Amino acid sequence: MRETLVLKVDPNTPEIKAIRVAAIFIKNGGLVAFPTETVYGLGADALNPKAVRNLFRAKKRPFDNPPIVHVGDFQDVHRLVTEVPEKAERLMDVFWPGPLTLIFKRSKIVPDVTVAGLDTIAIRMPRHNVALALIKESGCPLAAPSANLAGKPSPTTAEHVLEDLNGRIDAVLDAGPTRIGVESTVLDLTVDPPQILRPGGTPLEALKGVLGKVELHPVVVAEKEIAIEKARSPGMKHRHYAPKAEVVVVEGELTAVTKKVAELTDFYRRRKLKVGVLATDETAASYRADVVKSLGSRSSLNAIAKNLFRLLREFDLEGVDVIIAEGVPTEGLGLAVMNRLRKASGYKIVKA
Ligand code: TXA
Ligand code: MG
């Protein structure tokens, strides 16, 4: 096991010395975690197949799930893709740097392992000075999935990165908590109309504002109701963003949701389980669970998105058996929040 170097940097004006140390690791085929505006990423030279293979291994990520390639300027995109459609030009103009990942047809210079053998590539330009400085100093695009072990909630602090990857990666650039807290929106422009493959930091509404028509991939809106009595049954192996505890999401109108969450709390506590409730400021005081945590006020879905992954990790540290989560409206960043919660629950969704 190697030691993971922690490099503290200022998020706005990162110290060039620390960036250079990190860039040397990247140039030598190493792995460096770094902050973006969404979550921390685990970076490797996207054009170095050996480095990218090590990236998959460090995360224990299956080789058929390709990472996002991060660029620092628009010229890089042209090297990595065969064509930049007009819609992409418009989106890059409006949203880059920012939390929007675009799917392009990939060029021959991209190694197979970086795109998991696909003929497409996912690219974004992050809106974070540390990420941009690292890309520039490394002199290459960075393949960077979220810097968590596969299946765990994405990291929004350097501490989260170390919880999962300490000793498995060369270094982490620590610039404090990330601003957005959920990953970028992944948009497929190789189909018409464009399709959101993963809702994230750039809201659907904002994309529609630029493109007119945008669809959600069926997987994004997937929901399968499972009766609560069966909630401990399998399906767990396909969980993502998943804490160790079982997660149940309660969706519906707020008064009904609050009532249902209280009922479920009693149901599980009678079975001697340690229950955590993922609540909001408006409701938190009304619950009598073992641990109650608030995502923030319902008046700010952005604040809720920012806190989500951190709270899921905190529940694990508290050792709860079950997390009962209140659903939130699927507007703005709420769509990304609900997508993560549903996945974390393995689609154990209760309609209130
Ligand atoms: O905000 C983010 O996007 C963060 C930060 C670090 O930039 N990165 C991130 O990467 O979340 P990752 O690898 O954890 O998620 C990449 C997503 C996956 O859902 C993957 O399946 C999808 O992008 N993806 C990658 N390449 C693709 C492709 N060619 N076609 C379709 N989806 C692709
Ligand atoms: Mg990820």
Euclidean distance between CA atoms 304 and 42, whole angstroms: 24
CA of 50: how far to CAs of 28, 39, 67, 114, in Å? 10, 24, 14, 10
In a domain, residue 232? The reply is no
The rounded distance, in Å, linking the Cα atoms of 86 and 176 is 36
Same domain, 164 and 28: yes
> 129: closest CA among 12, 7, 17?
12
With bands split at pLDDT 50, 70 and 90, how would you rate the model's confidence at 345?
very high
Count of domains forming the chain: 2
Q: Is 286 touching ligand 1 by the criterion CB < 6 Å?
A: no
Q: How far, in Å, from the CA of 196 to the mean position of ligand 1?
A: 12
Indicate whether 274 belongs to any domain. yes
**Cα first-last separation, the chain:** 48
Ligand 1, residue 198: give the atom nearest the CA.
Answer: 19
Mark whether 288 and 162 lie in a shared domain: no
In this structure, the strands spanning 171-174 and 185-188 are: unpaired
Mean pLDDT of 171-187: 98
The rounded Å distance from CA 225 to ligand 1 centre is: 27
Q: What is the pLDDT of residue 218?
A: 85
Specify whether 120 is located in the same domain as 214: yes
Same domain assignment for residues 204 and 254: no
> What is the mean predicted confidence (pLDDT) over 221-235?
50
Ligand closest to CA 305: 1
Q: What percent of the chain has pLDDT over 90?
A: 90
CATH number, domain of 293, equals: 3.40.50.11030
Ligand nearest to the CA of 153: 2
Report which protein residue has its CA nearest ligand 1's atom 3.
184
234: in domain: no
Counting ligands in written order, the one closest to the CA of 144 is 1
Residue 141 has pLDDT above 80, yes or no: yes
Residue 222 has a pLDDT of 75
Verify whether ligand 1 is closer than 6 Å to residue 100 (CB atom).
Answer: no
Instruction: Clarify whether residues 253 and 105 are in a common domain.
Output: no
Give this prediction's pTM.
0.95
Average pLDDT over residues 30-34: 98
Q: Residue 305 falls within a domain, yes or no?
A: yes
Give the distance (Å) from ligand 1 centre to CA of residue 122.
Answer: 7
167 has pLDDT over 80: yes
Question: Would you say the CB of residue 151 lies under 6 angstroms from ligand 1?
Answer: no
Q: Answer yes or no: is the C-beta of 128 below 6 A from any ligand 1 atom.
A: no
Whether residue 101 is contained in a domain is answered as yes
The residue whose CB lies within 8 Å of the most ligand 1 atoms, and thus the one to mutate among 61, 146, 161, is: 146
Q: What's the pLDDT band for 2 if we cut at 50, 70, 90?
A: confident
Residue 236 has pLDDT above 60, yes or no: no
Backbone angles phi, psi at 93, to 5 degrees: -60, -45
Q: What is the CATH number of the domain that holds 11?
A: 3.90.870.10
Is residue 186 assigned to a domain? yes
Average pLDDT of the segment spanning 311-323: 95
* One domain, residues 160 and 206: yes
- 183, 195, 241, 340, best to mutate for ligand 1 pocket (most atoms within 8 Å of CB): 183
Same domain, 147 and 27: yes
Mean pLDDT of all residues in 46-69: 96
Q: Which atom of ligand 1 is nearest to the CA of 182?
A: 1
Beta-carbon contacts of residue 159 (< 8 Å; ≥ 6 apart): none
Residue 114 is classified by DSSP as G
**pLDDT value at residue 228:** 46
The pLDDT assigned to 321 comes to 96
Gap from CA of 173 to ligand 1 centroid (Å): 20
For residue 230, what pLDDT is reported?
Answer: 41
Question: Would you list the DSSP string of 220-282?
Answer: HH---B--GGGTTSS-GGG--S--SSEEEEEESSHHHHHHHHHHHHHHHHHTT--EEEEE-TT
User: Which among 303, 302, 301 is positioned nearest to 329, based on CA atoms?
Assistant: 301
Q: Determine whether the shortest distance from the Cβ of 114 to ligand 1 is under 6 A.
A: no
Phi, psi of 291 (to 5 degrees): -135, 130
Mean pLDDT of 277-292: 98
Looking at all shown ligands, the one closest to residue 66's CA atom is 1
Residue 234 has pLDDT above 90, yes or no: no
Any ligand 1 atom below 6 A from CB of 245: no
Q: For residue 70, is it within any domain? A: yes
Q: What is the pLDDT of residues 50-60, one digit of tens each?
A: 999 999 999 99
**pLDDT, average across residues 295-323:** 97
Look at residue 215 and give its three-state secondary structure.
Answer: strand
Residue ranges making up the domain that contains 300: 246-351
Q: Do 66 and 177 fall within a single domain?
A: yes
Q: Which residues contact 136 (CB under 8 A, 6 or more apart)?
A: 72
CA 6 to centroid of ligand 2, rounded, Å: 21
pLDDT in tens, 81-103: 999 999 999 999 999 999 999 99
143 lines ligand 1 (CB under 6 A): no
Which two three-digit tokens encode residue 149? 């072990």
Ligand 1 contacts CB of residue 68 (under 6 A): yes
Half-sphere exposure of 314 (CA within 13 A, CB side): 15
Statement to judge: residues 40 and 184 lie in one domain: yes
Written as one letter, the residue type at 196 is: I
Q: Which residue has the tokens 């999935």?
A: 145
Cα(296) to ligand 1 centroid in Å equals 27
- In this structure, is residue 124 part of a structural domain? yes
How confident is the model at residue 328, as a pLDDT?
Answer: 97
pLDDT above 70 for 48: yes
Asked whether residue 134 falls in the same domain as residue 189, the answer is yes
223 band by pLDDT with thresholds 50, 70 and 90: confident
Q: Which residues contact 14 (CB under 8 A, 6 or more apart)?
A: 129, 130, 133, 173, 175
Mean pLDDT calculated for residue range 273-299: 98
Give pLDDT, residue 306.
Answer: 98
132 and 191, same domain (yes or no): yes
Q: Is the pLDDT of residue 239 over 70?
A: no
Tell whether 168 and 252 lie within a shared domain. Answer: no
The confidence score (pLDDT) of residue 220 equals 84
